[in-house]
Amino acid sequence: MAVPSNTFLESTEDTSRTMPAQDNPLPTRPAAKDTESTLKEAGAGTVEVEKDPKHQQPNITAPGPDGHTPPGTKPAERPGMPRFTTSKENVLSDIFIGSIDQGTTSTRFIIFDGVGQPVASHQHEFRQHYPESGWHEHDPNELVASMETCVKKATALFQELGHNIKDIKAIGLTNQRETALVWDWETGEPLHNAIAWPDTRTKGLVRDLKHKEEEMGLDLAKETGLPLSTYPSCVKLVWLLEHVPKIKETYEAGRLAFGTVDTWLLYNMNGKNRDYFVTDSSNASRTMFVNLHTLQWDDKLLNFFGLDRNKLHLPRIVPSSDPKSYGHMASGPLEGLKIAGCMGDQSAALVGQQGFRPGSAKNTYGTGCFLLYNVGSKPVVSTHGLL
């Protein structure tokens, strides 16, 4: 179908709808000067940033008589978009980035153009499992399937706009945090539903662990940044080991793989290649197994929870943005595409709002309400039970 080039295609489940592109620049978009410097550093050649001399704002390409930008217009020539040109052609016009957002109730995939505007997306809701009061689970295979569905449908919409999939240069992942998954290291098959972050079945276990912490004279929050609660992944894993015989047997045999949602999805995105059994610090730090001062798995913390590092496969902790650590898409319409980064959803939201300076904060309203605050380069532990 013919679609004006200044149109953002978005679909939810099997329903497609057309939305006009946002004409106002996003508050977080870098200034033209910053973009110019970035392009030069990237070796883009001679870069000219056209600005309105009166207001020092990027020039705007006017829409045609029908109110739409003429078909074939480059993404950076859309109304409200700054125009960046090189000696050859606009280096941003054919650069796109894909982003997987795996949340608590749905998964979505969004394709952004070179100036950060969404071009096409698809969102897919998946089943929530509540076996008992206070219990909340997800089927690990449904998480993977929902991701694959979103990638497939969003890329189809992207092509309907006349774009080439080869112009998508990389893909990234953001995900719900704390949700715990376990699978067999040898077969790659999940051993239980994922226990989601809001699950409260571990209340009794948490009481026992708090008593143990007091008896041992420990203050786990000083090392982990988190107080004992039903929230972190650690208590979910301990509960599974205590209540699911098959998981306990797999652990004793040294075949138990543990990870948060990012690790499980990245593992599957790479075709279950163990070389990419990885996580980043924004996710790993939500398990209570990581020492915030070293940003590595801590044997003392694992021992506190009764875990033997030699029997448990833990993912390698890698930088959140690293084109060498996350592998490539193993199948689907984006097969071979580089996975360039990963970050827990709430941390990613703070980055998205450019909260890089101490004192910066963001608040997100989703399945829950999440306030994140940048405390600087050294850990600051809450004395009021903040999670």
Between CA 44 and CA 301 the distance in angstroms is 47
Give the least confident one: 256-260, 320-324, 368-372. Answer: 368-372
| pLDDT of the residue at 156 | 96
Q: Is residue 109 part of a domain?
A: no
Give the least confident one: 28-32, 66-70, 73-77, 293-297. Answer: 28-32
pTM for this model (two decimals): 0.76
Residue 88 pLDDT exceeds 50: no
Question: Between these two residues, 45 and 172, which has the higher pLDDT value?
Answer: 172
Last residue of a domain, one of 93, 108, 134: 93
Question: Between these two residues, 171 and 116, which has the higher pLDDT value?
Answer: 171
Same domain, 85 and 220: no
Q: Do strands 118-125 and 7-12 pair parallel, antiparallel, or not at all (unpaired)?
A: parallel
Q: Is residue 16 part of a domain?
A: no
| pLDDT of the residue at 189 | 97
Q: Is residue 162 part of a domain?
A: no
- What domain range is 52 assigned to? 37-93
Question: Between these two residues, 114 and 23, which has the higher pLDDT value?
Answer: 114
Last residue of a domain, one of 74, 93, 112: 93
Find, among 193, 290, 182, 180, the residue nearest to 235 by Cα.
180
| pLDDT of the residue at 382 | 83
Between CA 371 and CA 43 the distance in angstroms is 38
Residue 107 pLDDT exceeds 90: yes
If you average pLDDT over residues 85-109, what whole number do you get? 78
| pLDDT of the residue at 90 | 57
Q: Is residue 21 part of a domain?
A: no
Question: Between these two residues, 230 and 115, which has the higher pLDDT value?
Answer: 230
The first and second tokens of residue 277, run together, are 């059994």
Same domain, 187 and 291: yes
Q: Is residue 198 part of a domain?
A: yes
What does the mean pLDDT of the chain come to?
81
Exposed / middle / buried, residue 186 (Cβ in 10 Å: 0-12, 13-18, 19+): exposed
Same domain, 334 and 220: yes
Q: pLDDT-derived band of residue 56, with 50, 70 and 90 as boundaries?
A: very low
Same domain, 202 and 325: yes
Q: Is residue 73 part of a domain?
A: yes
- Do 2 and 71 contact (CB within 8 A), yes or no? yes
Same domain, 207 and 341: yes
Strand (E) or helix (H) holding 347? helix 345-352
List the helix and strand counts (H, then E) for the chain. 10, 22
Rg (CA), the chain: 23
Burial 141-177 (b: 16+ CB within 10 A, else e): ebbbebbbbbbebbbbbbeebebebeebebbbbbbbb
Same domain, 185 and 323: yes
% of the chain surpassing 90 pLDDT: 63
Report the number of distinct structural domains present in the chain.
2
Q: Which of 2-16, 75-89, 160-174 has the highest mean pLDDT?
A: 160-174
Terminal CA-CA length for the chain: 48
If you average pLDDT over residues 193-221, what whole number do you get? 96
Q: Is residue 61 part of a domain?
A: yes
Same domain, 89 and 234: no
The first and second tokens of residue 123, run together, are 């969102």
Q: Is residue 211 part of a domain?
A: yes
Question: Between these two residues, 58 and 148, which has the higher pLDDT value?
Answer: 148
Last residue of a domain, one of 48, 70, 93: 93
The first and second tokens of residue 4, run together, are 């004006």
The first and second tokens of residue 299, run together, are 């044997």
Q: What is the CATH number of the domain that holds 197?
A: 3.30.420.40
